[in-house]
Structure 1
């Protein structure tokens, strides 16, 4: 898709070696001081997390719109694709203004979510989709609240506000499917992390690669694929 922002490489240390599990080691460390307010490690990793969340939830939303066995699952899919496309646009704009490098792929763990759901069908797909999204978005919602209450950066604060609205909507629509396994979702949401950092951190983009853009659905194309601008 034309008009995509180019990837900014090396402007702010990409958190590959930190891993999202380790960000709490120095979340308040200031890594930049733009006019919009000091930027911390937690701020930067939050922007990357928002990007990564959209990169796996968007294709899952497309799958739900196509494969959903009930109207509620299809509606959830539409909300995922629409919300993630809008949030991703804001995330890419914010990252560009702050010089934050964004991934073009979700983490290996998140890629595993997509692979498993791609292989699912029927009611099993709906149950796995609803439970996985509910668990992952529950974790992200806690991160949003933490960053929103501590960030000194105006742009990160605005992104957190939009992310909060989007993620709450996603949680609501998957719960309305009636297929969420709450015991499993809450266990996944609150369990201590056991995966190594490399599995939960999205890989950095390839040098010179254009940003992947999540295109918003239209009436003529209800479930488009991610495109590279």
Structure 2
């Protein structure tokens, strides 16, 4: 990536903040139901974080369609909506099959970030803010995916992570010095 030191530092701070807030926002893990036997805490964490991340990406992607000032950000937003709807369908199907209950909505931090972006809707600053907001969430998700692939215990969740990895990696390239930064 072609990150400046200040951009890299900002991204690291944002990612660390999202990780901390996201981890605190995760619901307590209840005792496993018989159908969720063989699902580790890491498997549950991936399913939960992926679902909430997908909900946020769909919401902010839809928001970009009307709030962005450039065709490029509108197009990337539409791509993210399409891809995260597909990813979330797999997450919700897998969670249901394994008896893992998913949260019904985004985290409080995600809702605040969505509101902050919405306040910029239609303004010149929106596009850069939207792209910047997308980066740390995708980086955090990719790190969790890699952790699941390496250490997860449920083969179905690991397979889901493996199939999501190239999509999330492509999104990172799109929003960090990608198609809209040319």
Q: How far did 1:120 drift?
A: 0.8
Q: Distance in 1 between matches of 2:169 and 2:88?
A: 16
2:147 matches 1:146: yes
Which residue pairs with 1:99 in the alignment? 99
Q: How far did 1:21 drift?
A: 4.8
* Residues 134, 174 of structure 1: 8 Å contact kept: yes
2:72 matches 1:72: yes
Structure (1/2) with the larger helix percentage? 2
Q: Which runs of 4+ in 1 moved over 2 A?
A: 30-35
* Residues 46, 148 of structure 2: 8 Å contact kept: yes
Which residue pairs with 1:162 in the alignment? 163
Count of residue pairs the alignment pairs up: 154
Q: How far did 1:63 drift?
A: 1.3
Unpaired stretches in structure 1, ≥5 consecutive residues: 1-18, 24-29, 180-229
Secondary structure of residue in 1 paired with 2:104: coil
Which residue pairs with 1:129 in the alignment? 130
User: What is the aligned counterpart of 1:178 among 167, 173, 181?
Assistant: 181
**Cα RMSD, aligned residues only:** 2.4
Q: How far did 1:31 drift?
A: 4.8
Deviations 1:185-213 (A, max 9, x none): xxxxxxxxxxxxxxxxxxxxxxxxxxxxx
Deviations 1:52-104 (A, max 9, x none): 00111111101112222122211210111001100110011000010011112
* 1:191-202 mapped onto 2 (5 Å cutoff): none
Q: Distance in 1 between matches of 2:101 and 2:175?
A: 31
Q: TM-score normalized by structure 2?
A: 0.76
2:87 matches 1:84: no
* Residues 55, 104 of structure 1: 8 Å contact kept: no
